[in-house]
Structure 1
Amino acid sequence: MCLGIPGQIIEVKEGGQFGVASILGVKREVNLSCVYTPDQPEAAVIGSWALIHVGFAMSLIDEDEAQRTLEILKEIGELQEEMDAIAQSGSRA
């Protein structure tokens, strides 16, 4: 099953299409085009939480929703499976 995993955007790379998100401490390059445009200040997304799916920050969510989602995923056992898939994908930031 494919899930969106909450991650915190910690960097916007030059050009603005890509950035880095921290997903439970694992830094991954992500495509920001669904949540950020280069005409916005970087501060508009840095520190924000997003649902990350297949390398894309799909939508911004608030921190409470991110934490609740992580807890629910832990409870149902999906989080470890998704984290293993992220770790094996090889596109680290």
Structure 2
Amino acid sequence: MEILSDRPDLAMVDVSGVRRAINIGLLENEPLEPGEWILIHVGFALSKIDEVEAKAALDFLESIGQAYEDEIEALRESMIEKG
């Protein structure tokens, strides 16, 4: 969304509706502009990506989360209670 003027190694980004500051120091040789997509891991921008790559990554992460939720629900439903 924006590169912080007082900290040029940080950018304010929107991650699925959550605004947060991330370190863009690893991309110092890559010109970045607001509105571009970047791959972030543990608070660091790793690479600039296009919108198609970004959508694929988001879809994949959402499917992992849903698979996890489905597995937890299946475990809950299969619990055997001692009585």
Residues 30-41 of structure 1: pairs in structure 2 closer than 5 A: 30-36=22-28
Higher helix proportion, which one? Answer: 2
Unpaired stretches in structure 2, ≥5 consecutive residues: 69-83
1-structure distance, mates of 2:44, 2:34:
15
TM-score by length of 1: 0.61
1:23 aligns with 2:15: yes
Unpaired stretches in structure 1, ≥5 consecutive residues: 1-9, 81-93
Partner of 1:75: 63
2-structure distance, mates of 1:50, 1:33:
13
Task: Report the alpha carbon displacement of residue 73 of structure 1 after superposing the two structures with TM.
Answer: 1.2
Indicate the percent of aligned positions where both proteins have the same amino acid.
Answer: 37
The number of equivalent residue pairs is 65
Instruction: Please give the secondary structure, in 2, of the residue aligned with 1:34.
Output: helix
Structure showing greater relative contact order (alpha-carbon pairs closer than 8 Å, 6 or more residues apart)? 1
What do you get for the CA RMSD once the two structures are aligned? 2.0
Instruction: Please give the secondary structure, in 2, of the residue aligned with 1:77.
Output: helix
